[in-house]
Every structure is written in C-alpha cells, then in structure tokens.
C-alpha cells in the first residue's frame, strides 16, 4: 500500500472513532428536573445497560430488527438479542422495526418505557427487556349503498385492542390511505392484529360504521361488505320521575353523523327518530327544569325503544358550549359564592352539576373557561332551570424568530411558557405544543386563551429568547411578535479532583436554562479537564457536573452576560456511601400553587431551616426583586448561588404577613431517595 493510501486509512479511523465518542456523549436521555431547589440529578455513578430481545408473537427471536431509543440505534443478532451500554440514569423509550413485521400504534404510545435509576453502586441495568413485533393483517371488500357501489370512499381503521412493542395500547386510529375504486372495492394492508373496527367516510354523506373484526397475526379477511344506507330508528317516551309527560328535546349523535339529529317530543312525551346508520350512538333527553339524561345505545336494523325518566333540577346544572354552539368537552366551570370558589370539569357533553350543599343559590355566579377559548358569560343560576354558558372565541398569535442581526431563524422551537387571564388561572406550557419556525422564521399559534402570554424560543445554534406580556383578545390575531435570539455567552472552566488536584476527563457538564423547550446545553471535559459551553442564554444558570467516580455537583449563580464569558472551575470529591449529589444553596424543596412559588419542605440541617424559612412560606421576592409572574425555574435560579453568600428571601407567611429573611447559602449534600 502506498504512503498516501495509508494516510487516507488513518484519517478514516480517526473520523470513525471521533463519531463514536460524540455519539456516546449525546445519546444519553434528558432527565426532567424535580421541583426542588437542588434539582434532582444523576449522581455520577457507574453507567447502566439495557439488554433485551425482539421477538414475534410466538416468542421467537427476530433477527436484523432495528431497535431505537432517541438517537440511539442498534440491530438484533440472529437470536433477536440487542443491548445499549454506557447509559446515564433517566427514561428510555424503546421501539423496534423489522422487514415483514409491524410496530402498531402511535409512536409516543407503543414504545417500551424503561426507567434507569441511580443506586449506590451506579446506574441500574436491565437484562430482560422484550420488544414484541407482529406480522400485519389485511382486509378487503366492498362499500355499497344498497345495490350501488360507492366509489371514492375513504377507509378508516379504529383499533380498539392491540399490542404495541411494549404491551397493550389504548384505542387509536390507524393511518391508511385506502379508498374504494369505481366498483366500490377496497383493500387495506398493514392492519394491526387485534380488535379493529372499520369505518367509511363518504364525502358529502358523512362517516358510516362497518364491522368489528378480531384479527390474528398475519390474518387475511376478504369479502367484507359495508352497506351505508341508514335503516335503524329509535323511539320512546320522556316523562318526569313522577310520570308526567315532558315535551323534551331529544338529540342523537354518533361518529357516523356529520351533525347530531334533534327532535322534540310531543305533549304526550313521545318522540321518534328514523333513518339512522347502524352502530353505537349517544342519546340525550333534556328540558328546562329537569336534569338531562344521556345514554349509549346500539342502533340496529330494527327500531329501538328507549324511554327517559328525568329528575327535577336541584342545585346548579348546566352545559358549556363553544363559540359555535358545540359542547365544550372538559371545560373548567368555576362557581363563585360568598364562602369562596369551587371548580370542576364539564363532562364529554359539556354538562356539569353541583349540589351546592349549604350554599344559597342566589349568591352563586358561574363562569366557564378552557386554555383555547375566552371565558364564558358569567351566569346566575335560577331554581329549576338549566344554565347555559357559551365560551368566547379564542385568540391567535403569529410572529417571527430572528437572530441578533435580524435574520430569520428557521427550525427554532417556540413555546408558550404560560398564559394568564380572568378568571385567574395560570395555564402552563403543556396545553400548547411547541411550534417550529418555517424557513422564513415564522411561527403561529392558531388557538390560545385570550390574556397575557409569555413566549420562549430556542435554537440549537443560538441562546434562548423570551417575549413576556404578549396580550391577546378574543377573536383577534396578535401578529408581528418578534423574538430575538442572541449569540449568547460562553461558560468554560476546568474540572479537577478535590483530593488530588488532577484534571478529570470525560466528566459531563450540563447547563440548565429555565423554561427552555430544548435539551440543556452540555459538553464533556477533555483530557486536561477543560470544558466549554457556547450559545448560553444571558442570565443566571445552574451547572451540573457528573462523573461516575465522583459525587455529582450542582452549582448555581452562573450569571452569563450576553456575548461575554464566564469561567467556572469546579473540584469534585469522591462519593461516600448513601450520597446522591451535592449543591450550593439554601436546601429547600419548592413547588407551585395558585398563590405562587411555595416552600414545600426544608431539608434537615439546611440553611433554609437554620435561618427560619418554614414549610408553606410563599416566596414573593428574592434579593428585593418580586417573583410575581415568574416560573418556578426562574425563582430557583435567583435563589441558588455560591456557599457563604447571602440571599434575601421575602415570604408571605400564613398568620404573620410578609417576612424578610436573609439566608446564608451553604453546601448541601442530598442522601438517598430523591432528596425531598
């Protein structure tokens, strides 16, 4: 081999080894932080391992299957075995795929979830993980309207019972693009084995229920005929509980209907509904002054009789409708009276009821709200009447994410950190999934609750950006919202051993940003113990340093200037039995309540307990800066700092009013459990 070829081979080996090292650093899962001032951390113990097999429904190994967990990927051997090694503590979601097999169900639900916890001897390992793959079933047949084939009908699969790779799944709709041809014939492949219900969507005519099938592994069913002509009916009588006929409104709805069918019972209480598609349906009878009654029925080829006996109204009953008059399923309903407030959720039909024990009806007012609508009208209940609350239209937010030069940032994650409005309810980020900016840096939230919203944007190439106090109103779009991402600052330093003073290589340094939608910034130390974190958002942060041979350290008070640099050197000591991690701060578990960020518990012997903070104290200020409107992560970052430095914490204490307490931060070691 020539000298030039040897050089090319050597360069290739270096590139491959570098890729393997980087993969080992970046495939560790992200562990959610606890609501604790010393956010729970992995303690730097020996890494864990996940060993398992991919098998078919008969328990036979599936060779060559691809197993994934986040960015990690591997293939099974001839016996279906696989393994992931050098794992940190955290949550791992395992999925598998193989030629000729199906991994059914939504990706977020079908995976096998494995928790690897820290222990005194290191991160635990799993050696018996089993991922099960099935061979897909297939169904075929015709869609007819009497004797006429139905062309262009879309086939829909509702999977009522099925196993994912990790076990039984909740019901879901399986994706399919199958449509009937000119002769009404359909054919659906890749059907999940299990209990599957076929439905048919016909443009302009609605959705119609087909048969429910029990499909085995690799099952094939043909000759299925689905007739969409409605043939069923329901009739009956509506009376009061004392037998008095009621001219009630009777409504029937089902998945096959584009809209509910509504009829009015006669003066004799009798009603009749004809021309219904066969299958499950919901029947509701309601009339003013009586409690509504709702039942599930199954419509068949012959008429079904269903009678109702309605109870008189006692207390507050009603329903919540959206801006289009449809039931607002799961809306919050708040009852206000002289003795305080009570909140409950409406049912799937938007109905609610409260027996109001000991509360005068005349003193009650009722309002409804959701994360996606404006609050309803405030209603005053009347004796014997059903109350109707109609929600106002929601709001929308659009805007752009740009960098420090005003250039659009594509692919940034934009989230609503919180949204507050009347009645006072603080909706957190989980109600609005983060949106990604398009190639022009534009993002859009089409439905949010009117009020004041705080937005945060993240990019893996920039520091986080925030826009607080974006005001929205019902039925309008707040546009031109601009979020600027700066280049951020840099945090660098050196990690050494406290015992020997020698550098520690391959230590993981992680920097947390409160309210971020992306994984935290992280880096590993080199052979000289040096690390560098770039693109860090300006403001206070905490740094976690972890190595399997040392006690994990969590340090706060890393205040990063925009475009500047912070040097933070840390020395780690050997871990003693029973120790989990150490941090510098006050040593208190924090949580969020409607009153604000509250101290749940002070740790035994901690500075918080020593200087007089108490369980139940609501933190209203830190170092003379108010905390109203701040998330728990931001409050935590304000409290953390170097041992020996003071922090002034102002609290609202039940029975004592506002109290200002100066606490000297100290070194806190968390032992066992989760440090709570």
Helix/strand/coil for 669: strand
The rounded Cα 577 to chain-centroid distance in angstroms is: 36
Task: Report CA-CA distances (Å) from 539 to 501, 544, 558, 561, 562.
Answer: 30, 16, 8, 7, 8
Between 206 and 368, residue with greater pLDDT: 368
Handedness of CA 640, 646, 648, 651 (dihedral sign): positive
**Rounded Cα gap, residues 448 and 397, in angstroms:** 8
What would be the CATH architecture of the domain defined by 489-575?
Sandwich (2.60)
> How much is the pLDDT for 442?
96
Residue 419 confidence (pLDDT) above 70: yes
DSSP E strands, 24-179: 48-55, 66-69, 72-75, 81-87, 90-97, 112-116, 118-119, 122-123, 126-132, 137-145, 148-149, 154-161, 163-164, 167-168, 172-174
**Rounded Cα gap, residues 341 and 366, in angstroms:** 10
Between 31 and 90, residue with greater pLDDT: 90
**Rounded Cα gap, residues 28 and 22, in angstroms:** 11
Q: Which fold has domain 232-310?
A: Immunoglobulin-like (2.60.40)
DSSP state of 648: E
- The answer, as to whether pTM is greater than 0.85, is no
Every domain of the chain with CATH number 2.60.40.1120 lies at 137-227, 232-310, 316-390, 395-485, 489-575
**Rounded Cα gap, residues 128 and 252, in angstroms:** 50
> How much is the pLDDT for 503?
94
Handedness of CA 32, 35, 39, 40 (dihedral sign): negative
| CA-closest candidate to residue 467, choices 451, 493, 485, 489 | 485
For range 589-615, the mean pLDDT: 86
HEC assignment per residue over 541-556: EEEEEECCCCCEEEEE
**Rounded Cα gap, residues 77 and 98, in angstroms:** 12
Share of the chain above pLDDT 70, in %: 89
Between 95 and 469, residue with greater pLDDT: 95
Token pair 């925009």 is at which residue? 562
Among 96-105, 220-229, 339-348, 516-525, which is the least confidently predicted range?
A: 516-525
Q: Provide the b/e sequence for 74-89 (b: ≥16 CB within 10 Å).
A: eebeeebebbbeebbb
Give me the DSSP letters along 333-373: EEEEETTEEEEEE--TTSEEEE--TT--GGG-EEEEE-TTS
Q: pLDDT tier at 514 (50, 70, 90 boundaries)?
A: low
Task: Report CA-CA distances (Å) from 52 to 85, 112, 163, 579.
Answer: 12, 11, 18, 30
For range 29-40, the mean pLDDT: 33
> How much is the pLDDT for 423?
58
**Rounded Cα gap, residues 434 and 413, in angstroms:** 6
> How much is the pLDDT for 676?
29
For range 510-530, the mean pLDDT: 76
Residue 417 confidence (pLDDT) above 90: no
C-alpha dihedral, 427 to 429 to 430 to 431, nearest 10°: 50
Residue 3 confidence (pLDDT) above 70: no
Token pair, residue 663, equals: 């606490």
Share of the chain above pLDDT 90, in %: 39
Token pair 């901690």 is at which residue? 606
Token pair 């578990």 is at which residue? 589
Token pair, residue 70, equals: 């986040």
Between 360 and 75, residue with greater pLDDT: 75
For 93, other C-beta atoms within 10 Å of its C-beta total 17
Q: pLDDT tier at 41 (50, 70, 90 boundaries)?
A: very low
Helix/strand/coil for 486: coil
Token pair, residue 297, equals: 């029925």
Strands 521-524 and 508-512, sheet pairing: antiparallel
What tens digit of pLDDT does each residue of 532-551 get? 988 787 777 888 898 988 98
For 577, other C-beta atoms within 10 Å of its C-beta total 7
Strands 167-168 and 579-585, sheet pairing: unpaired
Q: Which fold has domain 137-227?
A: Immunoglobulin-like (2.60.40)
Q: Provide the b/e sequence for 407-438 (b: ≥16 CB within 10 Å).
A: eebeebbbbbbbbebeeebebebeebebbebe
> How much is the pLDDT for 300?
82
Residue 429 confidence (pLDDT) above 80: no
What tens digit of pLDDT does each residue of 196-247 get? 999 999 987 788 888 999 999 999 999 999 988 767 789 999 999 889 999 8
Every domain of the chain with CATH number 2.30.42.10 lies at 584-671
Inter-residue contact 579 to 43 (CB < 8 Å): yes
**Biggest CA-to-CA distance, the chain:** 104
Token pair, residue 319, equals: 């329903």
Strand partners, 366: 335, 379
Strand partners, 670: 581
Token pair, residue 260, equals: 């509910």
> How much is the pLDDT for 591?
83
What tens digit of pLDDT does each residue of 547-589 get? 988 988 888 778 888 778 899 999 999 988 878 888 888 988 8
Q: Which fold has domain 395-485?
A: Immunoglobulin-like (2.60.40)
Residue 462 confidence (pLDDT) above 60: yes
Superfamily of domain 1-133: Immunoglobulins (2.60.40.10)
DSSP state of 430: G
Token pair, residue 382, equals: 């009347």
**Rounded Cα gap, residues 321 and 331, in angstroms:** 9
For 316-390, CATH gives 2.60.40.1120
Q: Which fold has domain 584-671?
A: Pdz3 Domain (2.30.42)
Residue 14 confidence (pLDDT) above 60: no
> How much is the pLDDT for 36?
35
Every domain of the chain with CATH number 2.60.40.10 lies at 1-133
Inter-residue contact 404 to 465 (CB < 8 Å): no
Q: Which of 82-86, 423-427, 442-446, 456-460 has the highest mean pLDDT?
A: 442-446
Handedness of CA 625, 628, 633, 636 (dihedral sign): positive
Between 157 and 488, residue with greater pLDDT: 157
């Amino acid at each position: 081999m020539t000298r030039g070829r040897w050089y090319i081979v050597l360069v290739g080996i270096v590139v491959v080894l570098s890729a393997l090292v980087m993969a080992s650093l970046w495939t560790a899962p992200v562990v959610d932080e606890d609501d604790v001032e010393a956010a729970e951390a992995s303690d730097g113990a020996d890494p864990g391992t996940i060993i398992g097999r991919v098998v078919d429904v008969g328990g036979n190994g599936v060779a060559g299957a691809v197993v994934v967990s986040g960015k990690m990927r591997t293939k099974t051997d001839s016996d279906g075995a696989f393994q992931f090694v050098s794992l940190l503590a955290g949550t791992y979601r395992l999925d598998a795929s193989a030629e000729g097999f199906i991994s059914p169900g939504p990706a977020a639900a079908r995976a096998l979830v494995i928790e690897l916890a820290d222990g005194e001897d290191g991160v635990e390992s799993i050696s018996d993980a089993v991922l099960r793959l099935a061979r897909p079933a297939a169904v075929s047949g015709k869609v007819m309207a009497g004797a006429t084939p139905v062309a262009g009908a879309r086939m829909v699969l509702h999977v009522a019972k099925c196993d994912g790779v990790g076990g039984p799944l909740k019901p879901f709709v399986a994706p399919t693009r199958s449509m009937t041809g000119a002769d009404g014939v359909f054919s659906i492949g890749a059907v999940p084995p299990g209990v599957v219900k076929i439905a048919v969507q016909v443009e302009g005519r609605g959705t119609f229920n087909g048969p429910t099938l029990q499909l085995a592994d690799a099952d094939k069913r043909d000759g299925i005929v689905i007739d969409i002509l409605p043939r069923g009916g329901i009739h009956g009588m509506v009376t009061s509980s004392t037998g008095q006929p009621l001219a009630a409104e009777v409504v029937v709805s089902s998945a096959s209907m584009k809209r509910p069918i509504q009829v009015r019972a006669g003066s004799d209480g009798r009603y009749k509904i004809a021309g219904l598609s066969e299958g499950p349906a919901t029947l509701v009878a309601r009339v003013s002054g009586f409690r509504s009654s709702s039942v599930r029925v199954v419509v068949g080829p012959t008429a079904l009789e269903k009678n109702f006996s309605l109870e008189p109204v006692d207390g507050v009953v009603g329903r919540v409708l959206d801006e289009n008059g449809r039931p607002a399923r799961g809306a919050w309903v708040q009852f206000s009276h002289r003795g305080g407030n009570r909140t409950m959720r409406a049912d799937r039909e938007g109905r609610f009821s409260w027996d109001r024990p000991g509360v005068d009806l005349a003193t009650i007012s009722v309002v409804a709200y959701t994360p996606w609508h404006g609050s309803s009208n405030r209603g005053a209940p009347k004796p014997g009447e059903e109350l109707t609350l109609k929600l106002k239209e929601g709001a929308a937010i659009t805007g752009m994410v740009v960098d420090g030069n005003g250039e659009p940032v594509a692919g940034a994650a934009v989230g609503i950190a919180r949204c507050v409005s009347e009645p006072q309810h603080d909706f957190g980020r989980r109600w609005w999934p983060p949106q990604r900016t398009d190639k022009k840096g534009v993002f859009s939230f089409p439905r949010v609750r009117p009020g004041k919203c705080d937005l945060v944007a993240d990019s893996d190439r920039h520091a986080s950006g925030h826009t607080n106090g974006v005001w929205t109103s019902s039925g309008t779009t707040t546009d031109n919202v601009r979020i600027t991402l700066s280049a951020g600052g840099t945090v660098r330093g050196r990690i050494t051993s406290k015992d020997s003073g020698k550098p520690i290589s391959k230590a993981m340094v992680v920097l947390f940003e409160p309210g971020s939608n992306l994984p935290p910034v992280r880096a590993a130390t080199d052979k000289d113990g040096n690390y560098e974190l770039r693109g860090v958002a300006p403001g206070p942060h905490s740094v976690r340093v972890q190595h399997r041979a040392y006690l994990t350290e969590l340090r706060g008070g890393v205040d990063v200037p925009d475009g500047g640099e912070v040097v933070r050197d840390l020395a780690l000591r050997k871990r003693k039995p029973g120790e989990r991690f150490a941090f510098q701060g006050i040593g208190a578990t924090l949580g969020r309540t409607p009153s604000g960020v509250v101290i749940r518990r002070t740790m035994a012997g901690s500075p918080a307990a020593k200087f007089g903070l108490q369980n139940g104290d609501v933190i209203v200020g830190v170092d003379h800066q108010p905390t109203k409107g701040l998330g728990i992560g931001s409050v935590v970052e304000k409290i953390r700092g170097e041992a020996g430095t003071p922090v002034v914490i102002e609290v609202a204490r039940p029975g004592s009013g506002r109290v200002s307490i100066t606490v000297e931060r100290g070194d806190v070691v968390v032992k066992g459990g989760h440090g709570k």
